Amino acid sequence: MRCDDIPCGPRVTVTTATERKPIPSDVAAFVDRLARACDHDLGSRLAGVFLIGSLAHGGYSERYSDIDIAVVLDSLSAARALAVVKERSMRASAALAPRLSLFWTDEAFAGGRFPLLDRVDYLDHGVALLQRRPAAPERPALQAIRAHLRGAPLRKWVTAAARFRALRTLAAEDHKAYLRVLLYPARFICTWETGRVVSNDDAVAYVRQRERIGIDVDLIERALSCRTRGADLSELFPERHKLDRLVRTCVRVADEAGC
């Protein structure tokens, strides 16, 4: 499942299995039920069900993380049956259902909902909950990863940063989004330079070790601490003006390197 064919760029240190936090029991039961339901309803149309994201990296936050699941089908025609499984699984757990983010594709990785960076994450970190057949897309080249990053992901982050920069107060429902805005520069630069999708912890360590963000890395590290502790972001909101420098840094990285 893991791919050691790294595109050009420096190697990023990845957290080892022994350093990963265990998955909370309620989340483990939820994803197990989902995998079993996929197996029961889809049968031979199912190639596999996999953990990606923080559940696979070992950095799951009970307050801030999504439950990222990747499902590989024999063909896109099985998507309707998968939607029924998803709906039933979400009804079974009102507490966890809002966190479920389901990615899906066929065995050729030719369609569905499985963006480029999530495919990279699947290749490097995917953890099989159930696997009938091996299925792996071709690894995107670093050039393709950079072209993707400098498009919609960067534009959406710049827009989100501007929104938080303009706010006067941080609403309770905005803490998660503000956290993601603060952590994104580390994730962006790490993936831009290495072609890897890694945990928040590893991305922040990467930019700290390589002094890629400057003085504002301290803000990002404190945001990561809040994530780890499940703490509010209110204490960091007065520093939202620093987003201006972080935006300039990321845009400059994209503009200077090109594709």
Rounded CA gap, 116 and 126, in Å?
A: 14
Q: Are residues 48 and 101 in the same domain?
A: yes
**Side by side, which strands form the sheet with 127-131?**
100-106, 67-73, 46-51, 127-131
CB 57 within 8 Å of CB 198: yes
Domain closes at, from 103, 131, 159: 131
Do 21 and 47 lie in one domain? The reply is: yes
107-116 per-position pLDDT tens digit: 999 999 999 9
E strand or H helix that includes residue 122: helix 116-125
Query: Nearest-CA neighbor of 82 among 109, 48, 118?
Result: 48
Answer yes or no: is 94 within a domain: yes
Q: Give yes or no: residues 147 and 253 share one domain.
A: yes
Q: What tokens were used for 24? A: 């909370």
Domain-embedded: residue 3: no
Among residues 96, 131, 166, the one where a domain terminates is: 131
- The structural domain count of the chain equals 2
Shared domain for 251 and 175, answered yes or no, is yes
The CA distance from 2 to 52, in Å, is 12
Dist. CA 16–CA 198, nearest whole Å: 12
Whether residue 10 is contained in a domain is answered as no
> Do 105 and 191 fall into the same domain?
no
Contact call for residues 71 and 35 (beta carbons, < 8 A): no
**Does some domain include residue 78?**
yes
Amino acid at 70: A
Task: Based on the fold, state whether residues 81 and 150 are members of the same structural domain.
Answer: no
The Cα 162–Cα 156 span in angstroms is 10
In sequence order, what are the residues at sequence separation of 6 or more whose Cβ sits closer than 8 angstroms to the Cβ of residue 25? Answer: none
| Model pLDDT, residue 19 | 53
pLDDT at 83: 96
Among the listed residues 115, 4, 6, the one whose alpha carbon sits nearest the alpha carbon of residue 70: 115
Same domain membership, residue 236 and residue 152: yes
Residue 164 falls within a domain, yes or no?
yes
Indicate whether 4 belongs to any domain.
no
**Alpha helix (H) ranges present in 20-96?**
25-42, 54-57, 79-92
Give the pLDDT confidence of 9-20 residue by residue, as tens digits. 444 434 434 356
Domain containing 37 — which CATH number? 3.30.460.10
The domain boundary, picked from 131, 162, 182, lies at 131
Question: Does residue 191 lie in a domain region?
Answer: yes
From first to last of the 259 residues of the chain, give the pLDDT tens digit: 433 333 344 444 344 343 567 899 999 999 999 999 999 999 999 999 999 999 999 999 999 999 999 999 999 999 999 999 999 999 989 999 999 999 999 999 999 999 999 999 999 999 999 999 999 999 999 999 999 999 999 999 999 999 999 999 999 999 999 999 999 999 999 999 999 999 999 999 999 998 878 879 999 999 999 999 999 999 999 999 999 999 999 999 999 875 4
Sign of CA pseudo-dihedral 74, 98, 24, 234:
positive
Cα separation, 231 vs 249, in Å, equals 27
On whether both 123 and 157 belong to a single domain, the answer is no
Which domain range does residue 38 map to?
Answer: 17-131
172 and 120 in a common domain? no
Angstrom distance (rounded) from CA 90 to CA 100:
8
On whether residue 82 sits in a domain, the answer given is: yes
